[in-house]
A = this chain, B = another copy of it.
Amino acid sequence: MTSSREVRLKQRPVGLPTEADFDLATVEVGAPADGEVLVKNLYMSVDPYMRGRMTDRPSYVPPFEIGAALQGGAVGEVVASNADGFKPGDIVSSMFGWREAFTADAKQLQKLETHGLPVQAFLGVAGMPGLTAYVGLTRVAEMKAGDIVFVSAAAGAVGQVACQVARLKGCTVIGSAGGPEKAAFLREIGVDQVIDYKAEPDLKAALKRAAPKGVDVYFENVGGAHLEAALDSARVNGRFAMCGMISLYNDEKPEPGPSNLALVIGKRLRLQGFIVSDHFDLAPQFLAELSGWIESGQFHYRETVDEGIAAAPAAFLKLFTGENFGKMLVKLA
C-alpha cells in the first residue's frame, strides 16, 4: 500500500475561491489489479478552466464533486504495473492531478515521448496549454503570415505560446500582460508591441497605439475590457479565437458584455469559441513544430513552480491574481 495525499473540494466557492474551499486528505492507494498501473505524480497542473468545474452548472465538462479529489493534468512515473506496455520508470500523463499517487486503468494513461523536453513541459508549453494556443491561431482563427495578432494574458501558459507561434509564423504580435516584469518577458520572447494593462488607464487607446493599423486576429483569454478593445481595433474580416475569459470566472453575478459588440456586423468579424479537446488531431503536428523551434533556440517559455501537494490550492488561486508567470505548476516529487 502506498500513502497519498490529495486535495478535495470542501465546498463550492462563491466568487474568488479561498483556501477554505479545499481540504487535504490522506488515502491509501492499492496495488494495481489486472490491467492497472500505480503511478507516483511528479508534477500537477492548475488551470483557469478548473474554476468552472467548481461550480455546479451544465458545461462541457461535469462539475467536481464535493468531498472528492479534484482532477486535472499531471505527469508521473510508473511505480508498479500490471498492464501490458507499462513498466516501472515509464513517464505518463493523466488527468489524475491534485494527488501524490494513484492506481488506474492503463487506458486512462498516456505514455510520454518527451522529445528531449523536461517532463513538466507536457503540462504546459508542450501540453494542453501549448496545443490550445496552436489550435486557436492556426485552425480557429486561420492566422496567416502578415496578420497583426493581439494576444491577451500573453505571459500566461497559453499566451506565451500564442505570441511565439504567431511570431514564428510571420505575424506582427501585440501582447498584453500585467506588470513590468511580464512586459519585459514579452519583449524577450519577441513580442513586437507590449501593453502593460495595469499601467494603462485606457486599454482601447493603448491598443490603438500598439496596433495603429488594427488587428486581424485576437486570441481571447481575458474578456471584459480586453474584448472591448479588440472589437474596437479589429480590422474588416478579423477573426477572434475565443479561448477563455478569466476576468469573469469569479463573478458572482453576470457582468455586462462589451458595449461595442455591434461592430461585428460592419467589420464582418468572426468570433469563434473553441475547446482544445475537439482538436487533439493537431497534437502531432504541433509537437513536431514546437520541438524543432525549441531545439533551434527560437522558442522560450517560463514556468512558475510551487512545491508540494499542500501548496496546490494556493497555486491555483495565483491564476486569478496574476501572480503566476507562464505555466503554473506544482511539483509533487
Residues of A within 8 A of B (CB): 52, 59-60, 223, 227, 236, 242-245, 248, 254-275, 278
Is there contact, CB below 8 Å, between B262 and A259? no
Is there contact, CB below 8 Å, between B256 and A257? yes
- A278 proximity list for chain B (CB < 8 A): 268
How many Å lie between the Cα of A227 and that of B236 in the bound state?
Answer: 22
Copies in the complex: 2
* Min CB gap A126→B, angstroms: 23
- A269 proximity list for chain B (CB < 8 A): 271-273
How many Å lie between the Cα of A298 and that of B273 in the bound state?
Answer: 37
How many Å lie between the Cα of A86 and that of B264 in the bound state?
Answer: 40
The dominant DSSP class at the A interface is loop
Is there contact, CB below 8 Å, between A256 and B256? yes
How many Å lie between the Cα of A271 and that of B270 in the bound state?
Answer: 6
Is there contact, CB below 8 Å, between B273 and A270? yes
- A267 proximity list for chain B (CB < 8 A): 60, 273
Taking A59-B266, A256-B256 as given, write out 18 further A-B residue pairs in contact, using a Cβ cutoff of 8 Å, ordered by the A residue number: A60-B267, A242-B264, A242-B265, A244-B265, A245-B265, A254-B260, A256-B259, A257-B259, A257-B260, A265-B274, A265-B275, A266-B273, A266-B275, A267-B273, A269-B271, A270-B270, A270-B272, A270-B273
Is there contact, CB below 8 Å, between B255 and A259? yes
Can you name the residue of chain B whose Cβ is closest to the Cβ of A278?
Answer: B268
- A255 proximity list for chain B (CB < 8 A): 259
How many Å lie between the Cα of A263 and that of B272 in the bound state?
Answer: 11
List 22 A–B pairs whose Cβ atoms lie within 8 Å, in order of A's numbering. Answer: A60-B266, A227-B261, A242-B264, A244-B265, A248-B262, A254-B259, A255-B259, A256-B256, A256-B259, A257-B257, A257-B260, A257-B261, A264-B271, A264-B272, A264-B273, A265-B273, A265-B274, A268-B273, A268-B275, A268-B278, A269-B271, A270-B270
* Min CB gap A276→B, angstroms: 11
How many Å lie between the Cα of A227 and that of B245 in the bound state?
Answer: 19
- Which of B263, B268, B275 lies in contact with A274, CB distance below 8 A? B268
How many Å lie between the Cα of A20 and that of B266 in the bound state?
Answer: 28
- A242 proximity list for chain B (CB < 8 A): 264-265
